[in-house]
């Protein structure tokens, strides 16, 4: 069955369909052909093809039996390393089907695991190395502990360039009979920040309104998809209403499921359009950076964000 | 109140309970206010609420007031206050009838903290009695700022008793020892006085115990773990001057430190504004960082810093001590998270199905929601993802509300 969700419908299923990661694709293809693949570590930003490439590897290796020989896990969703180990254990217990001597486990967002959990994962990888190969994906390979890195072949994925994105969108618009204005294409690319998934999602959301994709339509879709009320939170804070600001912030975070870091990112971008003096903007940018640092260091992002809001309150008072 | 006990077992706290105002130690201000209340009884409020920490002399003041005025003291305590019927049966006649033995009468309603909020009848009846009483009523409580007492507070004068300072306690202890012809070494007495933290009754109990022990110094190590309710702790931190005693303050609050952090967080803006607010939250942010370091490295000594910053640190964020009453709130964040989990339950389950289908994690799918919501409305996609009717209804509601 062909999916109606375009990220699936147009997901490349062959190596030569993957855009923008030529080197990586070539090397992985060669390894896959040799049937003797090591553990793999795919590092790179979201929406650059890590999961896609893993799926292609699996489909190439196992052909029609790929579902039986493939386990997909997400480290940021599974509650703790023990659950992951349990699932791996169950999956690895049976032998692979077909003539490939191993199964494949794809662990997405592996950098969400704490260093301690990664140590446990390393052990698991060793224990099942005769029957399983791991493909780990992460945004930053520096967040993966050295012992795991040294057991994996590392492949880096780069952000997609505009011409790559254009290629993807071109293909979809042919398939879906869309008309896309050049400035709309530009905007989709900018709004997606090189994330191919987002591009396609924005495109499909826009197309669900009209098959003629113009600038205004895309811009509406993108602004709807942005974390909304962060600006409102900042306005409350600047006007001195700390209580309202933090209340709104909590509601927004819970409703949209955005993390502390997402909020910081939005604040950092939005800050420049606040009606405050340039030097205050600089001061607040520094405070924002400090808050982001503390979010990484601390345990409760919401407390750190409140501290930042208090700085905004002071800035609003001219202090 | 004290039951009859054999002579030997007489409790010093009862034996030396002051009979007159001059004997009540360390509460001059309160005595002045209480006298004033009794003087103006005919024209002013019918009741006075004396409140403060345990062992500071609330009941003693009531006893002394009765003696000073040659009045009969009619006494009721928590257990008599349970319900309306009992109040009407016992207290009502007392507020109306004249004393048989003496000309005057004072009614003492002791320890109203015990009245539960659910027994509204009892509390309401008490308020009605306060209004109609022909005699002065003295009501005592540890914490009168509980919401259930709002109506009662409006009908009465308020007198706050402070914790008694340790020097006063020490003097009382020495004089009791002298009368009892017992001897304790000076530094043991001093220690007991300090440890009591303003609770004279506790201190007197301690010297009575210590003077009966072979090695009285042993009592020093046996510190009474005085439990502090979170409201008092917040009050001390937010209102008071930072002092070294604060470093142990949070240990005596019967609550895990993570929860105390939430209480502080919730209530900081109720006390601090502007720069004070920023300073306080900045300190709280450092508390949080130490908390993470403890978890990450399992290095529990960091708890010292977490503790000190959370008490002394937060307290030091202000320039001057705060006066007046602040109504502290329970932390609402956990409840909100829970409510939101209920509210967005369907959104989560949709994200789970969608995420699994397009090979991304649930969290990321949830975040992607605003981006994909428009096409998730398509029936063929809903069918493809096998969304339930409830989930589809959720999507329609969201679109409508926006």
- Dist CA A267 CA A278 (whole Å): 16
Of A64, A15, A50, A41, the C-alpha closest to A195 is: A50
A158 close contact with B: CB closer than 8 A: no
pLDDT reported for residue A224: 79
- Dist CA B311 CA A1 (whole Å): 62
Give the residue on A whose Cα is nearest the Cα of B375.
A205
Letter string b/e over residues A29-44, b meaning 16 or more CB atoms within 10 A of that residue's CB: bebbeeeebebbbbbb
Tell me the three state secondary structure of residue B158: strand
- Dist CA B41 CA B135 (whole Å): 8
Give the residue on A whose Cα is nearest the Cα of B264.
A303
DSSP B100: S
Of B321, B305, B209, B338, the C-alpha closest to A254 is: B338
- Dist CA A200 CA A192 (whole Å): 9
Q: Under CATH, which number does the domain A227-316 receive?
A: 1.20.272.10
- Tell me the H-state helices in chain A: 6-9, 22-33, 50-62, 81-93, 115-127, 146-151, 162-176, 182-192, 196-207, 215-225, 230-238, 242-256, 260-270, 278-297, 301-317
Check pLDDT > 50 for residue B3: no
CA angle B320, B325, B329 (to 5 degrees): 105
Residue A238 is encoded by which pair of tokens?
């600047």
Contact between A47 and A196 under an 8 Å Cβ cutoff? The reply is: yes
Phi, psi of B292 (to 5 degrees): -65, -40
| Strands, sheet with B156-160, edge to edge from the N-terminal-most edge strand | B71-76, B104-109, B137-141, B47-51, B156-160
pTM of the model: 0.60
Q: Under CATH, which number does the domain A162-222 receive?
A: 1.10.8.60
* Neighbouring C-alpha atoms within 13 Å toward the C-beta of A312: 33
Residue A188 is encoded by which pair of tokens?
């989709």
Look at A109 and B378 and tell me if their CB atoms are within 8 Å: no
pLDDT reported for residue B173: 92
pLDDT reported for residue A211: 93
- Dist CA A193 CA A161 (whole Å): 9
pLDDT (tens digit per residue) in B80-132:
665 677 777 777 777 777 766 667 889 888 888 767 665 567 778 888 888 88
Where are the domains positioned within chain A? 21-156, 162-222, 227-316
Look at A311 and B278 and tell me if their CB atoms are within 8 Å: yes
A109 close contact with B: CB closer than 8 A: yes
pLDDT reported for residue B83: 66
Of A74, A68, A63, A70, the C-alpha closest to A13 is: A63
pLDDT (tens digit per residue) in B150-187:
888 888 999 998 888 888 899 999 999 999 888 888 88
Inter-axis angle of helices B274-297 and A278-297, to 10 degrees? Answer: 30
Beta-bridge mates of residue A134 = A105
- Any residues with CB less than 8 A from the CB of B337 and at least 6 apart, and which? A254
pLDDT (tens digit per residue) in A260-286:
998 999 999 999 999 899 999 999 999
Check pLDDT > 90 for residue B283: yes
pLDDT (tens digit per residue) in B20-73:
888 888 888 899 999 999 888 888 888 999 998 888 889 889 989 998 888 888
Identify the weakest region by mean pLDDT among A293-297, B149-153, B221-225, B382-386: B221-225
Contacts of B360 in chain A (CB under 8 A): 51, 74, 108, 197
- Dist CA A108 CA B80 (whole Å): 65
**Of A101-110, A124-133, A302-311, which has the strongest mean pLDDT?**
A302-311
pLDDT reported for residue B5: 40
Contacts of B363 in chain A (CB under 8 A): 74, 76-77, 257
pLDDT reported for residue B44: 82
In A291-310, the residues whose Cβ lies within 8 Å of chain B are 294, 297-300, 302-304, 306-307, 310
- Dist CA A276 CA A289 (whole Å): 18
Tell me the three state secondary structure of residue A220: helix
Helix H, strand E, coil C: the string for A159-208 is CCCHHHHHHHHHHHHHHHCCEECHHHHHHHHHHHCCCHHHHHHHHHHHHC
Q: How near does any CA of chain A get to the CA of B350, in Å? A: 13
Reported as type and span, the H/E element at residue A135 is: strand A132-138
- Dist CA A262 CA A268 (whole Å): 10
Q: How near does any CA of chain B get to the CA of A95, in Å? A: 24
Alpha carbon A205 to chain centroid, angstroms: 19
Of B69, B57, B50, B75, the C-alpha closest to B18 is: B57
pLDDT reported for residue A289: 96
Tell me the three state secondary structure of residue B370: helix
The DSSP annotation for B181-213 comes to T----HHHHHHHHHHTTT-HHHHHHHHHHHHTS
pLDDT (tens digit per residue) in A169-203:
999 999 999 999 999 999 999 988 889 999 999 99
Tell me the three state secondary structure of residue A102: coil
Residue B189 is encoded by which pair of tokens?
């007495």
Comparing CB atoms, the residue among A224, A257, A294 nearest residue B367 is: A257
- Tell me the H-state helices in B28-141: 28-39, 58-68, 84-96, 120-132
What's the whole-number mean pLDDT along residues A121-132?
A: 86
A198 close contact with B: CB closer than 8 A: yes
pLDDT (tens digit per residue) in B204-247:
888 887 887 777 766 654 454 456 788 888 988 998 888 888 88
Report the mean per-residue pLDDT for chain B.
84
Beta-bridge mates of residue B138 = B48, B108
Of B313, B386, B330, B314, the C-alpha closest to B356 is: B386
What's the whole-number mean pLDDT along residues A118-147?
A: 89
Reported as type and span, the H/E element at residue B307 is: helix B303-308
Q: A162-222 and A227-316: same fold?
A: no
Q: Under CATH, which number does the domain A21-156 receive?
A: 3.40.50.300
Place of tokens 């375009």: A6
What percent of chain B is predicted at pLDDT more than 70? 90
Beta-bridge mates of residue B157 = B48
Reported as type and span, the H/E element at residue A70 is: strand A70-74
Burial class (CB in 10 A: 0-12, 13-18, 19+), A87: middle
Taking the CB of residue B165, how many other CB atoms lie within 10 A of it?
12
Give the residue on B whose Cα is nearest the Cα of A299.
B292
Report the mean per-residue pLDDT for chain A.
91
Q: How far is CA A206 from CA B159, B228, B381, in A?
A: 68, 59, 16
Check pLDDT > 60 for residue A223: yes
What's the whole-number mean pLDDT along residues A59-63?
A: 90
Phi, psi of B175 (to 5 degrees): -70, -35
Tell me the three state secondary structure of residue B140: strand
- Dist CA B256 CA B250 (whole Å): 9
Contacts of A299 in chain B (CB under 8 A): 288-289, 291-292, 295
Look at A307 and B281 and tell me if their CB atoms are within 8 Å: yes
* Neighbouring C-alpha atoms within 13 Å toward the C-beta of A233: 25
In B86-125, the residues whose Cβ lies within 8 Å of chain A are none
Q: What is chain B's alpha carbon radius of gyration, rounded to the nearest angstrom?
A: 29
- Any residues with CB less than 8 A from the CB of B108 and at least 6 apart, and which? B59, B62, B66, B73, B74, B75, B76, B137, B138, B139, B140
- Dist CA A7 CA B368 (whole Å): 13
- Dist CA A96 CA A102 (whole Å): 6
Contact between B253 and B311 under an 8 Å Cβ cutoff? The reply is: no
What percent of chain B is predicted at pLDDT more than 90? 30
What percent of chain A is predicted at pLDDT more than 90? 63
- Dist CA A10 CA A189 (whole Å): 17
């Amino acid at each position: 069955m062909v999916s109606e969700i375009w990220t699936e419908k147009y997901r490349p299923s062959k190596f030569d369909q993957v855009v923008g990661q030529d080197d990586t694709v070539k090397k992985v293809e060669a390894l896959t052909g040799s049937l003797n693949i090591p553990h793999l570590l795919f590092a790179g930003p979201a929406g650059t093809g890590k999961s896609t490439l893993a799926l292609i590897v699996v489909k190439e290796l196992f052909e029609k039996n790929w579902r039986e020989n493939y386990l997909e896990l997400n480290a940021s969703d599974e509650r703790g390393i023990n659950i992951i180990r349990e699932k791996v254990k169950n999956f690895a217990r049976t032998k692979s089907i077909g003539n490939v001597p191993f199964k494949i486990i794809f662990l997405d967002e592996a950098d969400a695991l704490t260093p301690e959990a990664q140590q446990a994962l390393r052990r698991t990888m060793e224990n099942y190395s005769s029957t399983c190969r791991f493909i780990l994906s992460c945004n930053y390979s520096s967040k993966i502990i050295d012992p795991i890195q040294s057991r994996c072949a590392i492949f880096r994925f780069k952000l997609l360039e505009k011409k790559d994105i254009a290629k993807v969108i071109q293909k979809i618009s042919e398939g879906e009979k869309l008309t896309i204005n050049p400035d709309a294409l530009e905007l989709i690319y900018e709004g997606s920040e090189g994330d191919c998934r987002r591009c396609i999602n924005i495109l499909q959301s826009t197309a669900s309104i009209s098959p003629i994709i113009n600038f205004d339509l895309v811009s509406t879709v993108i602004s709807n998809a942005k974390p909304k009320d962060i600006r409102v939170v900042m306005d409350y804070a600047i006007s001195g209403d700390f209580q309202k600001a933090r209340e709104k912030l909590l509601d927004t975070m819970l409703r949209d499921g955005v993390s502390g870091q997402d909020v910081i990112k939005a604040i950092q971008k939005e800050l420049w359009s606040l009606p405050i003096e340039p030097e205050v903007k600089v001061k607040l940018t520094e405070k924002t950076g400090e808050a982001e640092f503390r979010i990484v260091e601390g345990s409760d992002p919401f407390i750190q964000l409140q501290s930042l809001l208090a700085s905004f309150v002071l800035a609003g008072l001219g202090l | 109140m004290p039951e009859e006990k054999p002579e030997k077992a007489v409790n010093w706290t009862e034996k030396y309970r002051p009979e007159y105002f001059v004997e009540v130690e360390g509460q001059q201000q309160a005595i002045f206010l209480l006298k004033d209340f009794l003087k103006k009884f005919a024209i002013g409020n019918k009741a006075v609420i004396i409140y403060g920490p345990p062992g500071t002399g609330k009941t003693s003041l009531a006893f002394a007031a009765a003696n000073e005025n040659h009045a009969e003291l009619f006494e009721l305590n928590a257990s008599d206050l349970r319900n309306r019927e009992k109040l009407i049966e016992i207290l009502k006649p007392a507020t109306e009838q004249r004393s048989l033995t003496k000309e005057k009468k004072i009614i003492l309603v002791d320890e109203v903290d015990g009245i539960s909020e659910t027994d509204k009848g009892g509390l309401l009846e008490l308020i009605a009695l306060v209004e109609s009483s022909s005699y002065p009523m003295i009501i005592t409580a540890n914490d009168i700022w509980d919401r259930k007492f709002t109506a009662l507070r409006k009908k009465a004068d308020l007198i706050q008793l402070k914790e008694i300072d340790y020097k006063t306690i020490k003097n009382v202890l020495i004089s009791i020892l002298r009368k009892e012809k017992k001897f304790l070494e000076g530094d043991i007495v001093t220690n007991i006085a300090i440890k009591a933290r303003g609770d004279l009754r506790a201190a007197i109990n301690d010297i009575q115990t210590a003077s009966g022990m072979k090695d009285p110094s042993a009592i020093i190590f046996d510190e009474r773990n005085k439990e502090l309710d979170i409201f008092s702790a917040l009050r001390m931190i937010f209102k008071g001057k930072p002092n070294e005693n604060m470093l142990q303050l949070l240990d005596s609050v019967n609550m895990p430190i993570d929860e105390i952090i939430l209480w502080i967080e919730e209530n900081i803006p109720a006390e601090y504004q502007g720069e004070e607010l920023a300073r306080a939250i900045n300190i709280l942010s450092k508390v949080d960082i130490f908390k993470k370091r403890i978890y990450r490295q399992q290095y529990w000594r960091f708890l010292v810093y977490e503790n000190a910053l959370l008490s002394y640190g937060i307290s030091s964020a202000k320039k001057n001590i705060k006066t007046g009453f602040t109504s502290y709130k329970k932390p609402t964040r956990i409840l909100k998270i829970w409510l939101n989990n209920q509210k967005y339950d369907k959104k989560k389950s949709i994200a789970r199905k969608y995420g699994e289908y397009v090979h991304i994690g649930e969290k990321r799918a949830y975040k992607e929601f605003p981006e994909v919501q428009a096409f998730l409305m398509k029936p063929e996609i809903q069918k493809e993802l096998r969304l339930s009717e409830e989930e589809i209804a959720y999507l329609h509601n969201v679109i409508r509300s926006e």
